[in-house]
Structure 1
């Protein structure tokens, strides 16, 4: 009887052990195959793009569960990302990120990957061509470091001014070394955009703001950025806190792959009339 009882006990333990292993395997399977939950912070037209992406079948294919949070201020959005209240943000150019990191050395962000170039344009309600802009004209330019330098580079590319050698993302109007038309610069809030056109001769307007003002940079600007070496730092990126783990970085970079999915790109092109030009480049390209 004792031997029989021991055999029954051993058999029971084996069965229970098998059940426990099975439950562990099942739970491990569930955890490893649960969708990656990522909060994306954005604004303007990018917010609309990521709302579409979050609901897309392409996101489900990559096993991603995306929540999109709207924060309509670039510095606040970057702060939220640095503090891990937002996992990834989608709104800024690489030069904007560099400027933010320069001003916030204890809360730096990292570049996860490129998305697109949204060309900045030179707009005017008074003139139809660049050559018509007169001497002494007033040009509205954004009053933040990243877009100030970006606007000046665009004016140089258009042949209106010349900047000092080595001009970079932290440059400003003091770095203009040649200004043959004696252009005057009026600094404005980035979001003013089209509303300022009736009070200046021309304005430098980012495409996000231009779209909100019903302007198409490819059709309505006098001149706009092209994809080349001088504009590579103006390419938009996805950003995350610099202190994230390697595992989180790998998870978040799935968003870069998702953004460049052909079906997502077709939606963006159709919706924004070609004003968001896809750029699929390695991070090293921007440096």
Structure 2
């Protein structure tokens, strides 16, 4: 009897151990807010048998390359237009899993208090990646500084500007480098994750800012072969939980907005 009870206990312990071991999920993210949000849900995923490992990146290219090459299981940092551009350029087939949040894109200046104060010939820094460059130009168009040949083209470049009344000069830089250029230019168009890392408050510091209706939602991204796996779906559910919504509202004060 004692032997039977002992074997039953060992089997139960082994079963619990296997449940806790679960499946490892390696996810790439930029530091703010993506990695912070992933850290928040890590304990809850562990309870569900998902061992979440977060790899933080300072650029937008490697997280996609490494998911495509199966060095990462998924990533969380980008918008659909950016992903589409990557897939086209690299002949990849990464897919969106679920939309999590919007980071209103903004324009910042240390020299001027409003867009109207920008002088003729002002230097404007924008991202050099396709969809982010287009996003910056669409925002400048919204602010009345330029007009584009196609006012709706999300992939516009400075060559697609139809009118530029203030004769703005453009510097195209890698997104991660834009905050460092703030002292060197008159207006700096910065992705919110990098603005937050640089201690800028989009709500308080931006001269111009996208609204809550921005179509540039940040997605959890995976591959066709794993997008429907149990672990990825548990991650997707955790990322769109009431806990995450409350955390975003409290932590980022309007600089990041839930998309669910």
| TM-score interval, normalised by the smaller of the two chains | 0.7 to 0.9
The reply to whether residue 47 of structure 1 matches residue 35 of structure 2 is: yes
Unaligned runs of 5+ in 1: 1-22, 281-287
Instruction: State the partner residue of 1:255.
Output: 235
Q: CA deviation at 1:28?
A: 9.4
- Three-state SS of the structure 1 residue aligned to 2:144 is coil
Q: CA deviation at 1:79?
A: 0.8
Instruction: State the partner residue of 2:188.
Output: 203
Q: How many angstroms apart in 1 are the aligned matches of 2:140 and 2:175?
A: 17
Instruction: State the partner residue of 2:8.
Output: none
Q: CA deviation at 1:263?
A: 1.6
Q: Segments of 4+ in structure 1 off by > 4 A?
A: 26-34, 60-63
Instruction: State the partner residue of 1:270.
Output: 250
Q: How many angstroms apart in 1 are the aligned matches of 2:234 and 2:141?
A: 37
CA contact (8 A) 1:112 1:237 kept: yes
Instruction: State the partner residue of 1:110.
Output: 95
- Three-state SS of the structure 2 residue aligned to 1:253 is helix
Instruction: State the partner residue of 2:217.
Output: 235
Q: How many angstroms apart in 2 are the aligned matches of 1:274 and 1:179?
A: 31
Aligned alpha-carbon RMSD (Å): 2.6
Q: CA deviation at 1:202?
A: 0.7
Q: How many angstroms apart in 2 are the aligned matches of 1:87 and 1:220?
A: 36
Q: How many angstroms apart in 1 are the aligned matches of 2:148 and 2:138?
A: 8
Q: CA deviation at 1:70?
A: 2.1
1:182 to 147, 167, 172: 167
Cα shift readout 1:184-211 (whole Å, capped 9, x = no counterpart): 1111221222321222111101111111
**TM-score, with structure 1 as normaliser:** 0.78
Q: 1:226 to 1:255 in 2, by over 3 A?
A: same
Please list, as runs of the form range in 1=range in 2, the aligned pairs for 1:163-178 lying within 5 A after superposition.
163-165=148-150, 167-178=152-163
Q: How many residues align?
A: 250
Q: CA deviation at 1:125?
A: 0.8
More helix by share: 1
Q: CA deviation at 1:212?
A: 1.3
Q: How many angstroms apart in 1 are the aligned matches of 2:228 and 2:130?
A: 33
The reply to whether residue 65 of structure 1 matches residue 47 of structure 2 is: no
Unaligned runs of 5+ in 2: 1-10
Q: How many angstroms apart in 1 are the aligned matches of 2:138 and 2:72?
A: 32
Cα shift readout 1:158-189 (whole Å, capped 9, x = no counterpart): 12111122643332111111212221111122
Higher mean C-alpha displacement, 96-105 vs 29-38:
29-38
Q: How many angstroms apart in 1 are the aligned matches of 2:68 and 2:104?
A: 27
Q: 1:267 to 1:138 in 2, by over 3 A?
A: same
